Amino acid sequence: MAVDNLETIHQALREHLKEDQISVNETVRELHGRDESYHSMKLPDIVVFPETAAQVAAVMKVSKQFQMPVVPFGLGSSLEGHVIPQSGGITIDFSLMNKVLAVNEEDFLVKVQPGVTRTQLNKELKKYGLFFTVDPGADATLGGMVATNASGTTSVKYGVMRDQVRDLEVVLADGTIIHTGSMAAKSSSGLHLNGLFTGSEGTLGCFTEMTLRVYGIPEHITAARASFPSVKDAVEAVVSILQAGIPIARVELVDEQSVRQANLFSDTAYLEKPTLFMEFHGNEAGLKQDVEFMQEIVQGHGCEELAFETDTAGRNRLWEARHNLAYAYIHGYPGKKMMVTDVCLPISELAGAVGHARDNLLALGLPGGIVGHVGDGNFHALIMMDMNDPVEVAKAQEFNERIVLYALERGGTCTGEHGVGLGKQKYQEREHGAALAVMEKIKRALDPDNLLNPHKNIKTEAKEAIE
Amino acid sequence: MAVDNLETIHQALREHLKEDQISVNETVRELHGRDESYHSMKLPDIVVFPETAAQVAAVMKVSKQFQMPVVPFGLGSSLEGHVIPQSGGITIDFSLMNKVLAVNEEDFLVKVQPGVTRTQLNKELKKYGLFFTVDPGADATLGGMVATNASGTTSVKYGVMRDQVRDLEVVLADGTIIHTGSMAAKSSSGLHLNGLFTGSEGTLGCFTEMTLRVYGIPEHITAARASFPSVKDAVEAVVSILQAGIPIARVELVDEQSVRQANLFSDTAYLEKPTLFMEFHGNEAGLKQDVEFMQEIVQGHGCEELAFETDTAGRNRLWEARHNLAYAYIHGYPGKKMMVTDVCLPISELAGAVGHARDNLLALGLPGGIVGHVGDGNFHALIMMDMNDPVEVAKAQEFNERIVLYALERGGTCTGEHGVGLGKQKYQEREHGAALAVMEKIKRALDPDNLLNPHKNIKTEAKEAIE
């Protein structure tokens, strides 16, 4: 970017933001040039730290005036390059907009700013006997979680991020501020903008306030670990549990490689076999009956060890081990980068898909393992690769592609919860067919200059930042 | 419409449809000129009965060629004029596309054509131990229910129509056929077209195939009727039940006027007091504990009579009485037309809103009563009016407006489940503010000639049919 132009833009931003809310510092730009994925770093030209929706709107107007791309940034925990500014431009960091604005106990709603993280929210909610259900593992910001339609371990019972969104305050490309919903639990009024903006990956607007649904902390919680002779047995047990109508709250597959990695990292001593980590929420009597029924089912599928975690400490240890799995792999393979596949299939196709993924991991000789939110039909293969070894990188990419194509051929999606970002764009046409043109029309209608997080989600010709 | 032009259009349609799939018969047109609402009849110029998506696409192309509006039609059970062809044109009746195409037990999915009704589907599903949850009372077509994002008595537990939509085959304005989703239980791929097209009221495209989520019939079901001294007590009991985290499956308010009407029509002898009709689904032990807890709560709110319906016959009688309430009113006021309000508010505002509605019913001297899906914060005032009495009509409209404005001022929506249609357009700007322009942009991007159900949902300048 030509320095005089940058200085002009800087000056334009100064009219709306304080000096310490604008940075062109190299280190700051580097912190905003990458995420937790394997995608290459690209630097923004300027990073801004707004405190209000009005300031975000002002940044949008500057972006428009100078035809400079804008990329919203939470904490950079994306696994698909969402926050990497492919064409430079202005990155909007929401870390100063990190307040829980209101807890409305009676309506089971909270109003938050986008920079609030999920553990920060849950700490606040605990005082009210409430909790926020969506749990992607990483301590992401809620703005980022809405942007990617995140989900995680509890979605099998409580739904994904989109199911929790009651209203979003959004700043559009032209600086207009809209609300996408209301406080009502349901509505048939107008078009469903809550759903459209959730998962839009910063390509349609920036969130500045969000009203989200929360739940009462369950009366009783029981967690369990069930180990099986094979991944196939474990997955089939899950299908039977769902078929039986047991309202399971969490059911995670962790294959033997991943249990081993967890034991190494989290200092646990879990049986190193394909395992289901489960959790049940409910009233005391109902939960007891659910758990007994589950016990019968897993035994029918050859369960070799069933261990219950009834106290909070044991339960927390279990879920921490699960959540730290990605870090356990990264820690176990120093110098390597992680690629995570993220397909989601109809549950009837899950056992086949997981088997296919394991066969391919083995055939390609890639180090890694499989974990998954199997109650939703969503699983991840975590592959460790040396980015300096082109053969390993090519193999990892080949693996990812095989997994995606297998899923798409069977009614699945290329991404269950991580989002499209940079990594899944090449599969969009294959997955959506003629519907992709509808998405592109919507994008063009709302962001005609293609300034909002270009190159992400919807493929459109982006304005390049002035070199 | 000039007859030569009509003949030309008829001829163009004949190239794609058989003669008996096209009608210009006056009686047929009249049957497609009204719904169950108080809105005035307008006739379509032609009615077509396609059998395939390809035929629907051909109709769309004829519509475009002659710039003639197209209105999709299910069974005409709309309460807001959705299917009334305000500018004439072609009505597409989906009654020949009424097949349940596939029941996929393992994935809890069904694939249906849009003309299938919900009782038809449930009859088919029963063979598999499954059921379709959404229950708006009327035996509507599933296509119509997706188009208005219908809901009803069970949404408090199972969600609204939008929550059940996994994929839609949609014919767009230009005849392109798209799929809006996949078979996967969740996805973060692309923009959320499932959500956008659900509730779009025929303004963005016509559905030709729908994949919907179904559930296993619950192991145990208990229904109950609880009578209270006042509507306020009943509503406050509901808030307490929700606060307690009891996973209630249905909770319907029926005020004393409506219990009286139900007793007259359904030959029941329920206590004529403000009553909650409830239902609980679950395993035996859990349900028992839920019901005991509910019992404690309603007693704490002054419950005067609590009657359980444990056998199927009693339970069916209860829900039939509830579902027939609209007909009970119509039957009770021969010659009058029904207007139904449909606001939905945050639950904390519900008692106030119902009280406000009752006060206004009384003040305006309108005959009617109040019922509602109170677990969602959604209630209906059913008002009977003589369409030939301009004073009564004006009063009913004034009442509807007061109810809507009260809800909008408190974070609610003008329509919880009936949709915008003709009746709620005037409140769209008030409810959505600047977001309305976003909806209009989406409409224009997908239907630039404004041929798809013009004058409904999104306000746009419609092409008038050639007079």
Question: Which of A186, A196, A348 lies at the smallest CB-CB distance from B155?
Answer: A186
Residue B1: band (very low, low, confident or very high) from pLDDT cuts 50, 70, 90? very low
First to last CA, chain A: 4
- Residues 368 through 387 of chain B touching chain A, CB cutoff 8 Å: 376-378
Could you tell me if A162 and A198 are in contact, meaning their C-beta atoms sit under 8 angstroms apart?
yes
DSSP codes, A183-214: SSS---SS--HHHHHTT-TTSS-EEEEEEEE-
CB B129 within 8 A of CB B152: no
Q: Assess contact for B379 and B253: CB atoms under 8 A.
A: yes
Contact residues, A window 344-373, toward B, CB-based 8 Å cutoff = 344-348
Instruction: Quote the DSSP letter at residue B376.
Output: G
- Fold that domain B333-408 belongs to in CATH: Alpha-Beta Plaits (3.30.70)
Residue A315's contacts (CB-CB under 8 Å, 6 or more residues apart) are A221, A223, A279, A309
Topology match between the domains B220-326 and B333-408: yes
Give the Cα separation of A121 and B363 in Å (integer): 46
CATH number belonging to domain A3-94:
3.30.43.10
- B200 CB near a chain A CB, below 8 Å? yes
B332 CB-near residues (< 8 Å, 6+ apart): B261, B264, B265, B384
Which residue has tokens 């200092």?
A267
Residues in chain B with CB shorter than 8 Å from the CB of A424 are 189
CA A124 to chain centre: 22
How far are the Cα atoms of A28, A212, A215, A276, B403 from residue A218, in angstroms, in the given order? 42, 18, 8, 21, 36
Confidence of residue B132 (pLDDT cuts 50, 70, 90): very high
H-helix segments, B148-269: 155-158, 161-164, 193-197, 231-243, 256-266
Among the listed residues B30, B37, B32, B35, the one whose alpha carbon sits nearest the alpha carbon of residue B385: B37
Q: Residue A293: what pLDDT?
A: 96
Closest Cβ opposite residue B442 in set A191, A290, A293: A191
CB-count exposure of residue B25 (10 Å: 0-12, 13-18, 19+): exposed
In A59-84, which positions are buried (b, 16+ CB within 10 angstroms) versus exposed (e)? bbebbbebebbbbbbbbbbbbbbbbb
Per-residue model confidence as pLDDT tens digits over B54-82: 999 999 999 999 999 999 999 999 999 99
Residue B107 and residue A290: Cβ atoms within 8 Å? Answer: no
The model's pLDDT over B269-322, given as tens digits with 9 standing for 90+, comes to 999 999 999 999 999 999 999 999 999 999 999 999 999 998 899 999 999 999
- On whether any CB of chain B is under 8 Å from the CB of A466, the answer is no
Q: Which residues between 154 and 193 in chain A have a beta carbon less than 8 angstroms from any beta carbon of chain B? A: 155, 160, 162-163, 172, 176-180, 182-193
Structure tokens at A398: 């080949």
For residue range B149-194, what is the model confidence (pLDDT) as tens digits? 999 999 999 999 999 999 999 999 999 999 999 999 999 999 999 9
Say yes or no for a CB contact (<8 Å) between B435 and A178: yes
d(CA A452, CA A207): 12
Distance CA A46, CA A24 (A): 5
d(CA A3, CA B204): 46
Mark the ranges of chain A whose per-residue pLDDT is less than 70.
1-4, 460-467
Q: Which residues contact A438 (CB under 8 A, 6 or more apart)?
A: B172, B178, B193, B446
- Out of A148, A155, A435, the one facing B193 most closely (by C-beta) is A435
Q: How big is chain A, counted in residues?
A: 467
Q: What is the pLDDT of residue A3?
A: 45
Q: Is the confidence at residue B21, as pLDDT, over 90?
A: yes
A198/B contact by beta carbon, under 8 A: yes
In this structure, whether the domain defined by A220-326 belongs to CATH 3.30.70.2190 is answered with yes
Give the Cα separation of B366 and B382 in Å (integer): 10
With contact defined as beta carbons under 8 Å apart, do A451 and A206 qualify? no
Q: Please report the pLDDT score of residue A458 as a whole number.
A: 80
CB of A209 within 8 Å of a chain B CB? The answer is: no
- Quick one: tokens of A318? 């279990």
Write down the pLDDT at residue B460. 62
d(CA B225, CA B236): 16
Question: CB–CB of B106 and A444 under 8 A?
Answer: no
- pLDDT band at residue B5 under the 50/70/90 scheme: confident
Are A148 and A419 contacting, i.e. CB atoms less than 8 angstroms apart?
A: yes
Confidence (pLDDT) at B59: 98
Strands (E), B362-454: 368-373, 378-385
- For the packed helices A312-323 and A325-332, what is the interaxial angle rounded to 10 degrees? 50
The correct answer on CATH 3.30.1240.10 for the domain covering B100-216 is: no
- Give which of B259, B262, B157, B272 is closest to B215, Cα–Cα: B157
**Residue B127 contacts A where some CB pair is shorter than 8 Å:** no
With beta carbons under 8 A apart, name residues in chain B contacting A410. Answer: 183
Q: Is A196 on the interface with B (CB under 8 A)?
A: yes
**Cβ contact, residue pair A457, B416, below 8 Å:** no
Residue whose entry in the numeric block shows the structure tokens 């919900």: B118
Question: Quick one: closest CA in A to B150, which residue?
Answer: A188
Q: What is the per-residue pLDDT for A358?
A: 94
Share of chain B above pLDDT 90, in %: 92
| Among A178, A438, A445, beta carbon nearest to B193 | A438
Check if B282 contacts A (Cβ < 8 Å): yes
* CATH number attached to the domain at B3-95: 3.30.43.10
Helix (H) or strand (E) holding A341: none
Q: In this complex, do B344 and A186 lie within 8 Å of one another by their Cβ atoms?
A: yes
Q: How confident is the model at residue B4 (pLDDT cuts 50, 70, 90)?
A: low
Would the CB atoms of B172 and A438 count as touching at under 8 Å? Answer: yes
Q: How far apart are CA A380 and CA A341, in angstroms?
A: 5
- Say yes or no for a CB contact (<8 Å) between B412 and A283: no
Q: Which of B198, B190, B186, B193 is nearest to B150 (CA)?
A: B198
**Per-position DSSP letters for A410-450, written without gaps between them:** TT-BS-SSS--TTTTGGGHHHHHTTHHHHHHHHHHHH-TT-
At residue A2, the pLDDT reads 46
* Residues of B with Cβ-Cβ distance to A239 under 8 angstroms: 106
Chain A residues close to B353, C-beta within 8 Å:
none
> Are the Cβ atoms of B184 and A415 closer than 8 angstroms?
no
The per-residue pLDDT for range B393-405, each reduced to its tens digit, is 999 999 999 999 9
Nearest by CB to B183, from A199, A239, A411: name it. Answer: A411
Interface of A with B in 83-122 (CB under 8 A): 104, 106-109
Q: How distant is the Cα of A1 from the closest Cα of chain B, in angstroms?
A: 31
A225 CB-near residues (< 8 Å, 6+ apart)? A270, A275, A276, A277, A278, A305, A306, A307, A309, A318
Q: At what angle do helices B435-446 and A435-446 cross, to 10 degrees?
A: 140
| ipTM of this predicted structure | 0.96
pLDDT score recorded for residue A345: 98
Average pLDDT, chain B: 94
Q: Are A95 and A115 in contact (CB under 8 A)?
A: yes
pLDDT for position B2: 46
| Test mutation, A161, A165, A188, chain B, max B CBs within 10 A | A188
- CB-based contact (8 Å) between B285 and chain A? yes
C-alpha span between A59 and A57 (Å, rounded): 5
pLDDT of residue B459: 72
Whole-number Å distance between alpha carbons of B93 and B84: 12
Domain boundaries, chain A: 3-94, 100-216, 220-326
One-letter amino acid for residue B90 of the chain: I
Closest CA to B205 of B72, B6, B314: B72
Which residue is closest to A427 within chain B, CA to CA? B189
Nearest CA-CA distance, residue A39 and chain B, Å: 18
